[in-house]
Structure formats: C-alpha cells, structure tokens
Amino acid sequence: MPDAREPLICLKNAGLEKAGRWLVRGIEFSVRPREIVTLIGPNGSGKSTTAKLALGIHRPSEGEAQRKNGIKIGYVPQKIAIDWTLPLSVERFMQLTQSLSPAQISAALEATGIAHLAKAEVRNLSGGEFQRAMLARAMAAKPDFLVLDEPVQGVDFAGEIALYELIGKIRDELECGILLISHDLHVVMAATDQVICLNGHVCCKGTPDAVVESAEYRRLFGDRAAPALAIYQHQHDHTHLPDGTVRHADGSVTDHCHPDDGHHHHEIDHSEPVTNANRKNDHV
C-alpha cells in the first residue's frame, strides 16, 4: 500500500510550448491516492494537454511533471479512431498493454455494463459502448493512477450517472488517484475532491463549491453556470480528521459521519488525505 500522503503525480509550474505558442503554462497541482481531481475549462483551455503532461506523453517545456516511481497508470484518451482494417475484439482490446485473466476481463466488462460485448469487434461498437470498453480496459489492471479524458462522452444520461458512480467506486476499491477531465461540471462535482479550472493556466482551484463561488469561475463560464450548480452548493457542518474520525459543527467527534450530516469539508490544498467511508451518501 503506497503512502497515502505522497502524491502519485505532481505538476510544478508546468508549461508546454508548441510552435511559439504556450498551450498551457503555470500548471500546478498533484493527485494523491484516493483522490479525484477534476479538470474543467472551455474548449482549447488545455485540459487534455495538462493530462498528457501528467501522463508523460508530453514533456513540459518549463517546470516539472513528476510521477511517482513504479506506479501503474491507466488511461482513457478522449478520442481513439480504430482503423477498420484492425480486427480487434473487446477482449483483445482489454489486453492491449497488460495481460489479464478471463475473470478480470469479465469483472471489468460487467462493471461497465458491456459484458455481452466481450467478443464484439471494437469498430462495430457505438460511441457510448466504446467509452465503456475503454473504461473497462483502464480499470481492469487495477491502476494506481487513472486518467479519464471525458470518459462519458457519447454515453446516455442514465449511463452517465452509472459511470460516474462506477468511477467513485473504482476510487474506493482500488484506492487509486483519478484525474478526470470533464466538460460536464455539475455531475462530476458530486464525487470529486478537487476541481481545477483551466484556461491556459490554472484560473482557480479548490473544492467543488469553492470553485463555483469564485469570481474567476463566473467570469469564465458566465453567471448562468452558477445557478445550474446551485444544487451542489452546501454547508460544511463537519470535518474529517486524519485518523478517520469526524468533528461536527458543535465540536463533538464521532467515528464516522451520518447520511443526514450534510456535506463534508475538504481541505482545499488536500494536505490531509480524505479518509471517509461514507462519503458517497451525502453527495448523492
């Protein structure tokens, strides 16, 4: 079990320059085990570029991108075009970079809801089915660090909620860190620990509700975004302590929080790991 405090990946003032243009600059954040970090931002704001810096696909032109040694990485890219000449079944696609047992394959396909498509050819899948196959592939090998670039694109609304629940479950079960890229702020908000709002640089970051309330965020997305997210604005009435206990607003400390407690307070800089078994209850 890796040290929960040590970041899996860490970007320090990272920037990428291509053809004289800075795609992103001054990116600073880290992802720790059991943490979901969500990148949001308008088109062309450098979300995918930032993820690729974190993955090591791009080397930063300035600053640093550090990955912890020996961590296992799972990646769901934003777009993959599978050439029609490639005879590739979902099962075989699952084992692209890793060897899996039949049980691992069927468990991952079961979890993403496409167990019946194990033998189907990848190029015949619909957009949503393919996204599920990519997520199944990435989660099957139990990665330490998972990067999901718009993982629910093309998935219908009911499926979207189920996949977000699954992503939360993956985090709980594998205890991995997740970097999630989303255009879909209000659904992601529910499970995420830290939101980073990008626009070529980090324009704001923090807990989901802190970001929504920030002036930078409103300037970027306009005032209309705030009401749409209002359902996720909430009161902090208790704090999770590093030893797993919960301190309530009245100062009392209990072993864990309760579904009717209201919402959690997370440290914006996440200097403390979030150790909360019940977290899902109060976000749903």
Partner 1 sequence: MFDDFFTRAIIAGVGVAIVAAPLGCLVIWRRLAYFGDTLSHAALLGVALAFLLQVNITLAVFVVCALVALALVGLQRHATLSSDSLLGLLAHSSLALGLVVLASMTWLRIDLMGFLFGDILSVSIVDIGIIYLGGAAVLVVLAVIWKPLFAATVNRELAEAEGQNPDRTNLIFMLLMAVVIAISMKIVGVLLITALLIIPAATARRFSTGPEQMAVIAAIVGVAAVVSGLFGSLKWDTPSGPSIVVAALALFLVSLSPVAGIIINLSKRSLGEKL
Which residues lie near partner 1 (CB under 8 A)? 52, 55-57, 72-75, 77, 80, 82-83, 85-89, 92-93, 96-98, 119, 121, 147
Least spacing, CB of residue 202 vs partner 1, in Å: 22
Q: Of the two residues 143 and 168, which places its CB atom closer to partner 1 in the complex?
A: 143
Q: Of the two residues 90 and 204, which places its CB atom closer to partner 1 in the complex?
A: 90
Burial (CB < 10 A; 0-12, 13-18, 19+), residue 198, is buried
Q: Of the two residues 100 and 187, which places its CB atom closer to partner 1 in the complex?
A: 100
Least spacing, CB of residue 89 vs partner 1, in Å: 6
Q: Of the two residues 55 and 188, which places its CB atom closer to partner 1 in the complex?
A: 55
Question: ∠ CA(64), CA(68), CA(73), 5° rounding?
Answer: 105
Q: Of the two residues 5 and 72, which places its CB atom closer to partner 1 in the complex?
A: 72
Q: Of the two residues 144 and 282, which places its CB atom closer to partner 1 in the complex?
A: 144
Number of Cβ atoms within 10 Å of the Cβ of 145: 23
